[in-house]
Amino acid sequence: MKRALPLLLAAALAAAPAAAHHGWSEYDSSSVLTLTGKIVASGYEHPHGHIHLETPGKTWVVVLAPPTRMENRGLPRDALRPGNVATVVGYPNRSKPEEMRAERITVDGRTVELR
């Protein structure tokens, strides 16, 4: 048992960042947004990719899926290049009025489910 305790402690500490990552409860799933606009900036990094989507009257920060998921589902990094037009469907952030979490994105004529 004395040998197992350090292993259990290490496993618990390793799991803590994943649990503390964030919760999707900060997004209002009862309010579905569909936004179309021009990508003005993007990031394809962990834990989640993102784009800045310029729509009439507002630029949104759109939280996407992790890069590995986007790549596996057919959304490569170059599809998110600035200047491309994208349509995203997702949920607004409850406390950050400029942010949304995307469930799906359509860009370059292809729709990709992100969740």
Q: What pLDDT is stored for residue 12 in this prediction?
A: 46
Q: Please check whether residue 5 lies inside any domain of the structure.
A: no
Contact 69, 103 (CB under 8 A): no
Distances (CA, A) of 103 to 16, 36, 66, 81: 25, 14, 12, 19
Higher-pLDDT residue of 6 and 87 is 87
Task: Write out pLDDT tens, residues 22-62.
Answer: 567 899 999 999 999 999 999 999 999 999 999 999 999 99
Q: Please check whether residue 40 lies inside any domain of the structure.
A: yes
| Number of domains present in the structure of the chain | 1
Q: What is the pTM of this model?
A: 0.80
Q: Please check whether residue 9 lies inside any domain of the structure.
A: no
Domain that holds residue 48: 26-113
Beta pairing, strands 99-107 & 33-43: unpaired
Q: Please check whether residue 97 lies inside any domain of the structure.
A: yes
Q: Please check whether residue 102 lies inside any domain of the structure.
A: yes
Q: Please check whether residue 56 lies inside any domain of the structure.
A: yes
Q: Please check whether residue 7 lies inside any domain of the structure.
A: no
Residue 64, domain CATH:
2.40.50.140
